[in-house]
């Protein structure tokens, strides 16, 4: 509970402005008196009704003495006035209910928000709530406006704000500290742990916001969170967003943890949305039975691609490649190629490099979009392609792949089987980390 | 840990597939064993050595109750990590608000600063045996620790360290070669003896404090959370804790034993690290000082890199400050500030002329013992909450043991402080 001296920060009655701001930490701990002037206890929490842009305070919780197990709950409408350290009710104590169960769509601010981790949507990172900031619209109408994540909020909670402010003002009147309010607007807040009580319902509006972040940002947020919160946030994402974010998570341990904690059907949906090589890497880390079970749940086509990738040894070109590439027949015209690309491009990861194959699927050439755009529409691929391009066999090592990509400055490298049939491609992003590692190893002399 | 380390891990992720069960065990095992081994750091080796040299077999009996308490306490933290998915500092903050968190973090910070000083004292003491001045070794060690974190290769050093833990085998052999009277050892192991002398009380608090150090609970719980152990696989994590605790105490026992059989037996008091090294004489003969120095150096340096980093992590997590070594200084000023301050202060203390290296290594462990009950009370309050732990709340036996430990430590601390102050007066 905050010391009484804190309430000095509240405007005095009479001079009290109708509109202003109020911190939760200054509200908590106030003595609550009922209509007959009887002391009920101390204010221990307030409930807001979420769903509106500025959620209004609709209820309150009173802790009766230190040893009373059950708090009392009332409606905010029954508050008659807030005066200094005292809250007066317009009803008797008997109209309060002995529990703290909140109605549908209501959130207890202290219990669910204060001191908890939240996602700051505007900064795309995880922060901790030090205080909660209410907008005062009428004499008693409070609306949740901001959460305070700054150092001042911490200091205020410790009960040191006034002392420290006075000190800082004396020592350094222009100190950054005095103006350093780190408030995040409620609209840009994504609570991560309103679990387990009907969280999905009340967060449906905010959840949409989360999927609008860049997958790499979501991945970083997931990595910053604690175990269960990470899982519950991941489970709240739609499969497409979840797949994009999962592919961006750097830490393989977190990747496998996340995919293992969602129900198999959902995990399969997510894996289908991922690039097959990423999905295969992930599945390769799971126990055998789990992998088999998940592959069974996936759509046949996607599962087949992943299954095929899993048969290649992880450290070979086959294990690194993606089976999603564009292969075009050698006698196709440029005009027809554009038509074909329009149809297939949405399902393929990279269309910058196009591979040209003969009737048996054998690799005969390569061209990029630039060649295609500059060519006459009537020309055939045979005429504009680079014949006999660099390639690797699917059993070639990682080092060989890196070497060839580096040597020829390739964006994508075709992978062929024993019969020189094109089976996949390796894009440069899958090789960069390996090259970086080699450079790093050389640098450290390991 | 950081983006760079993450990227590196990604490179090595293509491991051959193991049978599922072995993979599972390996995925869960680790935090308990590692925590216990880090625990046998400079302060630990010193305290156990002193205990053996000063009191002979007289303190062996404490090891059995300490083992039980260690297992119970570490198990509670591992369980909390698995069930709640949160670190200890996070839980205290979220459940008890900012004030208790602040004070407990402040206390932990002071204790861990003392521990960091002890680790650097260990580095200095070890290298002085080789004739390297502390004015060279300490700045070099501090820089090395910084370098480790900047390059994010700490995990691999951890592996080196774990292998180097085999050094403790030296104590095992030396303890046996010294031919202690095993009957006497056995008797002292089970028959408690107690003195009201203040040296004895201080040693008792230090022994508990070094074996069950408060930072271990924070470290273990975070490690378990980071591993992402699922409740279904929790029993493996439990074995991990039990094995780790038993190994740690067995090592402690043999250090005590070796020192008791060689030093106490011949009435040699430990005043410098050189003296402490003599315990290895039955095994290493003339090379005992070198062997001891290597072991102490390794343990100290590793702990000197783990402690400041993990301390900065918990404190920042608890207070809600930005963490992460991949951030820039401006983005996470408190994190870098704390981390740097711990290393710089830890090293700077040692550089004072005539700094009592051994005494500081020992007294930091006594401070650990004094802080332990406070951390323990929070752990107990949290682990008994049904809304957090559901049916995984403590059993009655665990509560009795853990509350008993807190109570005993509080009483011991008060009596010890009283006796030290009265003795000084």
Q: Cα(A219)–Cα(A248) distance, rounded to whole angstroms?
A: 6
Residue of A nearest to B323 (CA): A224
Task: Indicate yes or no: CB of B97 within 8 angstroms of CB of A227.
Answer: no
Contact status of A436 with chain B (Cβ, < 8 Å):
yes
Angle subtended at Cα B170 by Cα B169 and Cα B171, rounded to the nearest 5 degrees:
90
B163, with CB counted inside 10 A (0-12, 13-18, 19+), is exposed
From chain A, the residues in CB contact with B84 under 8 A are 227-228
Subunit contact B14:A281, Cβ cutoff 8 A = yes
Whole-number pLDDT of residue A12: 47
Asked if the C-beta of A250 comes within 8 angstroms of chain B's C-beta atoms, the answer is yes
Which two structure tokens, joined as six digits, stand for A4? Answer: 């009484």
Which residue stretches of B14-97 are H helix?
A: 20-28, 31-39, 42-55, 63-84, 88-96
CA B302/CA B300 separation, integer angstroms: 5
pLDDT band at B343 (very low <50, low <70, confident <90, very high): very high
Q: Hey, are the CB atoms on A157 and B11 less than 8 Å from each other?
A: no
> Does residue B328 belong to the interface with chain A, where contact is any CB pair within 8 Å?
no
- Among chain B residues, CA nearest to A320: B14
For B346-395, the pLDDT digits (tens) are 999 999 888 888 888 888 888 998 899 999 999 999 999 888 888 888 88
Q: At what angle do helices A264-273 and A276-285 cross, to 10 degrees?
A: 140
pLDDT at B146: 80
Nearest CA to A16 among A145, A138, A132?
A138
Q: Is the pLDDT of residue B314 over 90?
A: no
Which among A128, A289, A434 has the least Cβ separation from residue B11? A434
- Establish if A111 touches chain B: CB-CB under 8 angstroms: no
Non-local CB neighbours of A161 within 8 Å, separated by 6+ positions: A6, A9, A152, A155
Q: Give A182 to chain B, closest Cα distance, Å.
A: 12
Interface contact flag, A251 B9, Cβ < 8 Å:
yes
Question: Which helix (DSSP H) or strand (DSSP E) does residue A42 occupy?
Answer: strand A39-49
- Chain A contact set for B6 (CB, 8 A): 223, 250-251
Residue B283 has pLDDT above 90, yes or no: no
Q: In chain B, which residues have their Cβ closer than 8 Å to the Cβ of A285?
A: 13, 15
Tokens of A143: 């609306």
What mean pLDDT is predicted for residues B130-139? 90
User: For B269, phi and psi rounded to 5 degrees?
Assistant: -90, 140
Chain B residue numbers with beta carbons less than 8 Å from the beta carbon of A114 are 97
CB contact under 8 A, A250 and B10: yes
pLDDT of residue B325: 62
Contact: A288, B93; criterion CB under 8 Å? no
A382/chain B closest Cα distance in angstroms:
38
Closest residue of chain A to B103, computed from CA coordinates: A158
Is the per-residue pLDDT at B196 higher than 60? Answer: yes
Residue of A148, A158, A251, A439 to mutate, testing the B interface (most B Cβ within 10 Å of its Cβ): A251
State residue B310's pLDDT score. 84
Average predicted confidence (pLDDT) for chain B: 82
Put simply, whether A180 touches B (Cβ < 8 Å) is: no
Please give the residue of chain A at the shortest CA–CA distance from B97.
A115
Q: Flag whether the ipTM exceeds 0.85.
A: no
Phi and psi angles of residue A396, each rounded to the nearest 5 degrees, phi first: -65, 150
> Within B166-233, where are the H helices?
168-177, 182-190, 198-211, 214-227
Partner A contacted by B2 (CB < 8 A) = no
CB contact under 8 A, B85 and A261: no
CB contact A281 to B (< 8 Å): yes
DSSP A139-155: SS-EEEEEEE-SHHHHH
Q: What is the pTM of this model?
A: 0.77
Does residue B354 belong to the interface with chain A, where contact is any CB pair within 8 Å?
no
Q: Which residues in B lie closer than 8 A to residue A315 (C-beta atoms)?
A: 14
pLDDT at B100 over 60: yes
Inter-CA distances, B188 with B54, B171, B183, B257, B262, Å? 15, 19, 9, 11, 17
Distance from CA of B257 to the nearest CA of A (A): 40
Query: What angle is formed at CA A293 by the lines to CA A291 and CA A298, rounded to 5 degrees?
Result: 90
B13 vs A contacts (CB less than 8 Å): 252, 281, 285
CA distance A326 to A224: 37
pLDDT for the residue B8: 30
Q: How far apart are CA B407 and CA B70, in angstroms?
A: 15
- B85 closest CB neighbour out of A226, A314, A434: A226
What number is the average pLDDT over the span B163-188?
79
B167: left (phi > 0), else alpha (psi -120 to 50), else beta? alpha
Pick among B147, B218, B228 to test the A interface (most A CBs inside 10 A)? B228
For position A192, what pLDDT does the model report? Answer: 72
Alpha helices, H only, A172-263: 176-179, 199-202, 204-211, 215-224, 227-236, 239-248, 252-261
Contacts of A254 in chain B (CB under 8 A): 228
Partner residue opposite B86 with nearest CB, options A159, A226, A251: A226
Containing A119, the helix (H) or strand (E) segment is strand A117-120
Chain A within 8 Å of B231 (Cβ-Cβ)?
no
369-408 in chain A: CB under 8 A from chain B: none
HSE-CB of B390 using CA atoms within 13 angstroms: 5
Averaged pLDDT for residues B123-144? 90
Measured CA to CA, the distance from residue B380 to residue B398 in angstroms comes to 10
Of B382, B372, B378, residue with least CA distance to B406? B372
Whether the CB of B84 is below 8 Å from some CB of chain A: the reply is yes
Across the interface, whether the CB atoms of B93 and A128 are under 8 A apart is answered: yes
Weakest mean pLDDT among B16-30, B231-245, B329-343? B16-30
Please give the pLDDT value at position A120: 82
Contact of B320 with chain A, judged by CB distance below 8 Å, is answered with yes
Identify all chain B residues contacting A251, using CB atoms and an 8 Å cutoff: 6, 9-10
Q: Do A227 and B320 touch (CB under 8 A)?
A: no
Secondary element (H or E) of residue A302: helix A300-311
| pLDDT of amino acid A220 | 85
Task: Spell out which residues of chain B touch residue A437, defining contact as CB-CB under 8 Å.
Answer: 8, 11
Residue B155 has pLDDT above 70, yes or no: no
B52 contacts B270 by C-beta, under 8 angstroms = no
Q: Does B3 touch chain A (CB under 8 A)?
A: yes
What chain B residue is nearest to A435 in terms of C-alpha separation? B11
Q: Do B20 and A287 touch (CB under 8 A)?
A: yes
CA dist A333 → A344, A374, A382, A384, B45 (Å): 16, 13, 9, 10, 78
Spacing of C-alpha B276 from chain mean position? 19
* C-alpha separations of B253 from A74, A115, B49, B247, B258 in Å: 60, 43, 10, 10, 9
User: For chain A (length 446 residues), average pLDDT per consecutive 10?
Assistant: 38 56 88 88 87 85 81 87 87 80 75 84 82 87 88 85 82 74 82 52 55 84 80 83 87 82 88 86 83 88 84 82 85 88 77 85 87 87 87 89 85 87 85 69 51
- CA pair distance A13, A289, nearest whole angstrom: 69
Asked if A115 and B93 come within 8 Å (Cβ–Cβ), the reply is yes
**With an 8 Å Cβ cutoff, are B320 and A127 in contact?**
yes
* Mutation for testing the B interface, residue in A126, A217, A223, A226 having most B CBs under 10 Å: A226
Instruction: Return the residue of A nearest to B316 by Cα.
Output: A128
Determine whether the interchain pair A288/B14 forms a contact, defined as Cβ–Cβ distance below 8 Å. no
Q: Say whether A149 and B320 touch across the interface (CB within 8 A).
A: yes
Provide the greatest CA pair distance for chain A: 96
CB–CB of B228 and A257 under 8 A? yes
Burial of A359-394, coded b for 16+ CB within 10 Å and e otherwise, reads: eeeebbbbbeeebbeebeeeebbeebbeeebebbeb
| pLDDT over 90, % of chain B | 21
Residue of B nearest to A148 (CA): B320
Pick from A126, A250, A434 the residue to mutate for testing the B interface (most B CBs within 10 Å): A250
**Alpha carbon distance A128, A120 (integer Å):** 9
């Amino acid at each position: 509970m905050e010391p009484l001296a804190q309430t000095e920060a509240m405007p005095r009655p009479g001079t009290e402005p109708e509109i202003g701001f109020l911190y939760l930490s200054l509200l908590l701990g106030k003595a609550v008196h009922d209509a007959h002037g009887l002391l009920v206890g101390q204010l221990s929490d307030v409930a807001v009704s979420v769903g509106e842009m500025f959620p209004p305070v609709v209820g309150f919780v009173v802790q009766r003495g230190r040893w009373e197990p059950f708090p009392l709950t009332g409606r905010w409408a029954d508050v008659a006035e807030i005066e200094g350290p005292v809250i007066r009710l317009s009803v008797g104590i008997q109209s309060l209910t002995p529990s703290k169960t909140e109605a549908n769509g209501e959130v207890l601010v202290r219990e669910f928000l204060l001191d908890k981790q939240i996602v700051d949507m505007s900064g795309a990172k995880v922060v901790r709530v030090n205080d909660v900031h209410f907008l005062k619209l009428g004499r008693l109408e409070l609306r949740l406006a901001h959460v305070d994540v700054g150092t001042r909020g911490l200091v205020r909670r410790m009960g040191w704000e006034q002392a420290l402010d006075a000190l800082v003002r004396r020592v350094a009147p222009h100190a950054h500290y005095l103006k350093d309010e780190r408030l995040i607007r409620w609209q840009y807040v994504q609570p991560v742990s309103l679990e387990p009580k009907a969280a999905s319902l009340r967060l449906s509006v905010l959840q949409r916001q989360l999927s609008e972040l860049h997958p790499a940002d979501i991945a970083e947020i997931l990595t910053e969170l604690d175990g269960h919160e990470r899982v519950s946030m991941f489970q709240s994402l739609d499969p497409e967003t979840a797949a994009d974010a999962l592919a961006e998570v750097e830490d393989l341990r977190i990747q496998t943890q996340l995919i293992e904690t969602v129900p198999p059907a959902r995990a399969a949906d997510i894996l289908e949305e991922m690039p097959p090589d990423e999905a295969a890497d992930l599945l390769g880390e799971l126990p055998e039975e789990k992998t088999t079970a998940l592959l069974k749940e996936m759509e046949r086509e996607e599962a087949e691609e992943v299954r095929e990738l899993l048969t290649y040894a992880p450290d070979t070109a086959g294990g690194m490649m993606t089976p999603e590439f564009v292969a075009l027949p050698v006698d196709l015209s440029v005009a027809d190629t554009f038509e074909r690309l329009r149809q297939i491009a949405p399902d393929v990861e990279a269309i910058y490099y196009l591979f040209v194959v003969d009737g048996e699927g054998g690799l005969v050439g390569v061209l990029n979009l630039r060649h295609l755009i500059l060519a006459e529409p009537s020309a055939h691929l045979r005429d504009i392609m680079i014949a006999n391009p660099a390639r690797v066999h699917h059993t070639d090592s990682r080092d060989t792949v890196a070497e060839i990509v580096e040597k020829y400055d390739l964006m994508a490298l075709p992978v062929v089987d024993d019969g020189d049939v094109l089976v996949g491609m390796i894009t440069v992003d899958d090789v960069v980390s390996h090259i970086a590692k080699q450079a790093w190893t050389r640098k450290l002399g390991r | 840990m950081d983006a760079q380390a993450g990227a590196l891990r990604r490179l090595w992720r293509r491991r051959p597939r193991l049978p599922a069960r072995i993979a599972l065990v390996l995925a869960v095992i680790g935090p308990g064993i590692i925590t216990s081994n880090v625990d046998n750091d400079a302060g630990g080796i010193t305290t156990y050595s002193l205990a053996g040299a000063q009191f002979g077999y007289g303190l062996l009996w404490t090891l059995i109750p300490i083992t039980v308490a260690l297992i119970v306490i570490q198990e509670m933290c591992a369980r909390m990590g698995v069930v709640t998915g949160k670190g200890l500092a996070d839980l205290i903050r979220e459940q008890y608000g900012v004030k208790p968190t602040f004070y407990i973090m402040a206390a932990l910070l002071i204790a861990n600063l003392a521990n960091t000083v002890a680790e650097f004292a260990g580095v200095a003491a070890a290298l002085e045996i080789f004739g390297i001045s502390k004015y060279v070794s300490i700045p070099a060690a501090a820089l090395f620790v910084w370098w480790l974190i900047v390059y994010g290769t700490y995990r691999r050093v951890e592996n080196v360290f774990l292998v180097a833990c085999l050094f403790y085998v030296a104590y095992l052999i030396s303890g046996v070669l010294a031919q202690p009277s095993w009957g006497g050892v056995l008797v002292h192991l089970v028959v408690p003896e107690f003195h009201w002398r203040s040296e004895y009380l201080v040693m008792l608090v230090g022994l508990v404090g070094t074996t069950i150090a408060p930072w271990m609970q924070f470290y273990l719980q975070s490690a378990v959370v980071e591993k992402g152990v699922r409740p279904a696989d929790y029993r493996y994590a439990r074995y991990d804790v039990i094995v780790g605790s038993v190994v740690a105490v067995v090592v402690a026992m043999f250090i005590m034993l070796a020192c008791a059989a060689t030093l106490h037996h011949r009435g040699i008091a430990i005043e410098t690290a050189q003296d402490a090294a003599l315990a290895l004489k039955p095994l290493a003969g003339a090379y005992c000082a070198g062997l001891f120095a290597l072991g102490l150096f390794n343990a100290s340096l590793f702990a000197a890199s783990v402690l400041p980093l993990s301390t900065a992590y918990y404190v920042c997590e608890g207070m809600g400050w930005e963490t992460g070594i991949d951030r820039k200084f401006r983005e996470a000023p408190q994190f870098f500030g704390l981390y740097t301050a711990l290393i710089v202060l830890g090293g700077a203390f040692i550089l004072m002329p005539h700094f009592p290296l051994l005494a500081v290594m020992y007294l930091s462990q006594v401070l650990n013992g004094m802080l332990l009950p406070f951390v323990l009370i929070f752990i107990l309050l949290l682990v008994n909450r049904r809304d957090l732990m559901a049916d995984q709340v403590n059993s009655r036996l665990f509560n009795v043991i853990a509350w008993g430990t807190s109570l005993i430590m509080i009483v011991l601390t008060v009596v010890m402080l009283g006796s030290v102050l009265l003795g000084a007066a």
